[in-house]
Each structure stands twice: as structure tokens, then as C-alpha cells.
Amino acid sequence: MSASAFRALKIAVFGLCLLPLTILVLQTVGVGGLSLGANPIEELIHSLGKWGLKFLLITLAVTPVRKLTGWNWLMRLRRMLGLFAFFYVLLHFLVYAGLDQRFEFAVILEDIAERPYITIGMIALLLLLPLAATSTNGMMRRLGKRWKKLHRLVYLIAILGVWHFYWQVKLDTLEALIYAGILAALLGYRLVDWWRQRKRRGVVDPRSSHDRIAHPR
């Protein structure tokens, strides 16, 4: 793909990533009869959180899709997609803290301490902070091998995000289970790919692995 074509693609993807927020803003101000429903603040909080989770899953899907299709240019979009995941998750928290709790930090801390799904969501947000802060090329060079180890936290963050959403929805868990299935498929692909790479490098001896399974100590 030429540089000019990729630049145009990147601008288009950037615009698409902002589209959910644009629609939510239009719904908030009631343009064209759009509405967030009877409880707009709650709907806004939930919608921003779901989009944060969706972008997180899309980011995790980039590498498997690239390996399956050979579209190497996808890797050049992964950082932007990951930052949009952080952006929507941060907005999710800020709307909760600002519009729902009016920045009453004592109440927010009490919620975090007493509601497990909020505790899990807060942990996921805090883990996202260093990933977003170290997403630049300069930080990649500065951290070296530690950068890759740090950014493996994204798998734990995704698990926490799905868990947070599942506990929050309470009764209608179908959407949360769909996200959990997608995440399981992505993590399963990563695990299989890691195992194949180890076998190709001669790190794993299939016979010894079989012996350990067949004759456990």
C-alpha cells in the first residue's frame, strides 16, 4: 500500500473511530429527534464503556487478522485503535465521576470499594494508564524489551473489561457473553500461535510433553 493510500485510510479509520462519540453527542443534545432514553446519563456511561471494550477487542484482533490475511498494514493502525480504546474507557469513567457522581470523591471511592464490578473496572482503567502513556515511539525505544512485557497487560485488561461488563449488566448477559466468546477466541488463537512458534524453534519436544501427560508424576 502506498504512503498516500495509507494516509487516506488512516484518516478514514480515525473518523470512523470518532463516529460513536459523535452519535452519542447528537443523542445527548437531541439533534434530529435522537435521544439517549429515559436515563440519559446511565445510557451514556454504558455506551462509552461498551465502545471502550469493543475497541479493546478490535485492537487485540489486529495481529490475528494480519497473520491470517497477510495485511501487514493493519499493524500500523493498532496503536491508534488502542488509544481510542483508552479514550472511550476514560470518557466512560469521567462521565460516571462527573455527571453521575458530580465528582464527589468520597462517594466514588465508596462505590469502588463496595461494588465489585466498579472495583474491577477501576483496576482495568488504572492498568490502561501506563499503556497509553508509553504508546509513543520514544517510550518504545526507552523501555526496550520491557515495553513488550508491559503491554502484555492488555490481555488482563481485556479480561477485566469483559468481567466488569458482565457483572454490570446483571440480567441481560447475552451481549457480555458474546464479548467473552470473542475474547476467548482471540486469546485461544494467541496461545495456539505461541505454541506453534515454540515447536518451530525446537523449544517444545512433543514426545516429552506426551510422556508428561500420559505418565504424570
Please report the pLDDT score of residue 210 as a whole number.
44
C-alpha–C-alpha distance, residues 206 and 107, integer Å: 55
Q: Where are the alpha helices (DSSP H) in 115-173?
A: 116-133, 137-143, 145-151, 153-169
pLDDT digits (tens, 9 = 90+) for 70-81: 999 999 999 999
Cell of 14: 480515525
The pLDDT confidence band at residue 29, using thresholds 50, 70 and 90, is: confident
Whether 197 has a pLDDT exceeding 90, the answer reads no
- DSSP assignment of 30-91 equals TGGG----SSHHHHHHHHHHHHHHHHHHHHHHHHHHHHHH--GGGHHHHHHHHHHHHHHHHH
Q: Which amino acid is at 22?
A: T
Domain ranges across the chain: 43-199
Write down the pTM of the prediction. 0.88
- Tell which wins on pLDDT, 38 or 16: 16
Q: Of 16, 53, 52, 11, whose CA–CA distance to 183 is shortest? A: 53
b/e per residue 106-133 (b: at least 16 CB within 10 A):
eebeebeeeeebbbbbbbbbebbeebee
Cβ(164)–Cβ(124) under 8 Å? yes
Between CA 13 and CA 28, with CA 30 as vertex, the angle to 5 degrees is 60
- Tell which wins on pLDDT, 61 or 170: 61
The pLDDT confidence band at residue 201, using thresholds 50, 70 and 90, is: confident
Q: Of 89, 81, 83, 161, whose CA–CA distance to 120 is shortest? A: 161
Please give the mean pLDDT across all residues of the chain: 89
